[in-house]
């Protein structure tokens, strides 16, 4: 992973917001899964994916690149 030269307070605050949004979306997804609520699960899964994508897009715009994950062979 490479890091940009400067991570300022604004960037860290925004990243925290994105982490919190992802965490909240995942909590909803987890509840739907535990409750066996397929309709809400589908909606919550999509919301979690959007939150995760927003976080990863933000990191990319900051210049933080993540290595490709290892793939099962």
* Distance, CA of 55 to CA of 61 (rounded, Å): 10
> What tens digit of pLDDT does each residue of 47-64 get?
999 999 999 999 988 888
> What tens digit of pLDDT does each residue of 16-57 get?
999 999 999 999 999 999 999 899 999 999 999 999 999 999
Beta strands in the chain (DSSP E): none
* Distance, CA of 49 to CA of 32 (rounded, Å): 15
* Distance, CA of 58 to CA of 48 (rounded, Å): 15
- pTM for the model: 0.79
Give residue 36's Cα distance to chain centre.
Answer: 23
What are the extents of the domains in the chain?
Answer: 11-62
């Amino acid at each position: 992973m490479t890091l940009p030269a400067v991570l300022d307070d604004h960037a860290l605050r925004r990243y925290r917001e994105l982490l919190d949004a992802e965490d909240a979306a995942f909590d909803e997804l987890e509840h739907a899964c535990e409750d066996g609520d397929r309709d809400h699960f589908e909606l919550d899964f999509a919301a979690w994916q959007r939150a995760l994508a927003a976080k990863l897009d933000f990191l990319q715009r900051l210049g933080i690149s993540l290595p490709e994950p290892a793939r099962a062979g």
